Structure 1
Amino acid sequence: MRRLLVSACMLTFAAVGANAQGFPEPTILKGSCSDKSHIAQGRIGADLTKNQARFFCDSVVIIPVDGNPWHVLLTFAESQSHTRPQIAFAGMMTDRQMVDVQRVYLSTGKATPMDDGACKFFYKGPRISGVFCGGKIDQGERRTVPLVAFERH
Structure 2
Amino acid sequence: LVWVRGTSILLSGDIKLYVASQHAKAWLLHNKHLWSTLAHPELVTTQTHFPVLIHSVPMDADPKSENFIADFMAENGIAKAKIASARWLVKPNGGVAHGSIIMNFTSKQVANLVEKGHIFIENSISQRDEHDKMMTQCFNCQELGHIAH
**Normalising by structure 1, what TM-score?**
0.25
Decide which structure has the larger Cα Rg and report it: 2
